[in-house]
Amino acid sequence: MSETVERVRSYTFEEFVDRVKSFHGYEAIGVIIGGFMIDLAYSRLPENGLIDAVCETSKCLPDAVQLLTPCTLGNGWVRVINVGRFAVTLYDKRTGEGIRVFVDPAKIGAWPELEAWFFKLKTKKEQDPEDLLKEARRARADMCGLQAVKVADWVRKPRHHGRFVVCPVCKESYPADDGETCLACQGKLAIEGHDRSSEPYFVLLENL
Amino acid sequence: MSETVERVRSYTFEEFVDRVKSFHGYEAIGVIIGGFMIDLAYSRLPENGLIDAVCETSKCLPDAVQLLTPCTLGNGWVRVINVGRFAVTLYDKRTGEGIRVFVDPAKIGAWPELEAWFFKLKTKKEQDPEDLLKEARRARADMCGLQAVKVADWVRKPRHHGRFVVCPVCKESYPADDGETCLACQGKLAIEGHDRSSEPYFVLLENL
């Protein structure tokens, strides 16, 4: 990006901002910063290797991953473990070894616009989107920490590929491993890692 | 698609297949079928309105949503409630009213290649990807059921936008509402709706 993000997708900064607008709907600063974070992670990874990703938030960051790597939500190469930290790990899927990049609160103070955005010190109205974007472009991943990590096997292993059966309650198909009925009919619902088990997520108005 | 998917993104079938290859990495039949499902949902929605989406699986379907609607994982307009059903709901974010499209096991028998794929009756090797794609193109969303639904408020309301604070354990920032420390340091981890609370998701090798 800016000048790099080779290897997978190569954009100038302006091109990347355009791609963010087109995919994400607007120039979200979190996606822009995410782009620099991914750039930094790639710079520390070996040239070859199949790269998978983990995001620790579902906000913004996964879109940077989806724009700049082969990993998408639907192909399962990026997975979200939503603990609310602005951090992304790119790792070699054979070994689990990789690079974790996170926004470091100890470093972000050097970038007042980014700090205000990150810690929500200003309302949306008080923020100047242009100043923020300019500062982000100068900062790149300067406010980030970097770690060599090994991703756990349970994250690396492919999602379950067992048998599918028809649920006796809703008559739709579901993974047999989930139990006697599907998780929806069991009322076992979760959204972005937060359990919501007791509340149905839609009401049927009419079969069409 | 094929001939439609107006409104948001308009592709011919071939163009859509190319977009799937480029974004998802290969011509995944689940994304192709997902495209027809979204097409069908749009055809039943009012012309105007801000559309949000819910997927009931994280496999394939979310990529069709991300390719054909303004909804992405990172902007939060598509959310995954992973109950393992191949179903997608597009709904008006102001009212919650929308259309749910699901693969109906009672209808899929008319499409033997799709049935074999959907219920994993054949191994990957036994499947002929061209036959499958041809059949999918003929079937469109013919094997799907359609429901008018009202999406629950807890799914519609924006994800939490509270204060961010620094975690006393990991020193990274996290949403204050999550507790005294971040969810990672509490060991409260979930992935695609499945609780994994006891197992850390990475081991730190080295701070770089």
Between CA B174 and CA B184 the distance in angstroms is: 10
CB contact under 8 A, B103 and A172: yes
- Give chain A's count of helices (H) and strands (E): 8, 10
Least confident among A58-67, A142-151, A174-183, B184-193: B184-193
More confident residue, A204 or A32: A32
CB contact under 8 A, B166 and A105: yes
**pLDDT score, position A207:** 87
Residues of A in contact with B150 (CB under 8 A): 202-203, 205
More confident residue, A159 or B93: B93
User: Do A91 and A151 contact (CB within 8 A), yes or no?
Assistant: yes
CB contact under 8 A, B74 and A28: yes
A158 to chain B, closest Cα gap in Å: 11
Least confident among A4-8, A198-202, B125-129: A4-8
ipTM score of the complex? 0.90
Residues of A in contact with B73 (CB under 8 A): 58, 62-63, 66, 73, 80
Q: pLDDT tens, B43-93?
A: 999 887 889 999 999 999 999 999 999 999 999 999 999 899 999 999 999
- Residue where the block lists tokens 């204060």: B163
Q: Give the C-alpha distances (Å, rounded to integers) separating B43 from A1, A115, B99, B107.
A: 38, 44, 10, 20
CB contact under 8 A, A189 and B150: no
CB contact under 8 A, A75 and B25: yes
Which residue does chain A place closest to B66, by CA atoms?
A: A23
Q: Which strands, in side-by-side order, build the sheet including A202-207?
A: A202-207, B144-151, B97-103, B87-92, B51-55, B78-80
**pLDDT score, position B46:** 87
Which domains does chain A show, CATH number per domain?
13-156 (3.30.1330.130), 162-208 (3.30.60.80)
**pLDDT score, position B161:** 66
Residues of A in contact with B104 (CB under 8 A): 171-172
Between CA A20 and CA A7 the distance in angstroms is: 19
**pLDDT score, position A9:** 61
Two tokens, residue A10: 């190569």
Mean pLDDT for B149-170 is: 86
Using N-to-C axis directions, what is the helix angle for B13-24 and B61-68, rounded to 10°? 120
Mean pLDDT for A166-193 is: 89
Least confident among A66-70, A162-166, A189-193, A200-204: A189-193
User: Do A130 and A84 contact (CB within 8 A), yes or no?
Assistant: no
B180 to chain A, closest Cα gap in Å: 13
Q: Where are the alpha helices (DSSP H) in B71-158?
A: 105-108, 112-118, 129-139, 153-156
CB contact under 8 A, A199 and B83: no
Using N-to-C axis directions, what is the helix angle for A61-68 and A13-24, rounded to 10°? 120
CB contact under 8 A, A25 and B164: no
Q: pLDDT tens, B83-127?
A: 999 999 999 999 999 999 999 999 999 999 999 999 988 888 888
Residues of A in contact with B24 (CB under 8 A): 72, 74-75
Between CA A43 and CA A47 the distance in angstroms is: 9
User: Do A108 and A37 contact (CB within 8 A), yes or no?
Assistant: no
Residue A16 pLDDT level (bands cut at 50, 70, 90) = very high
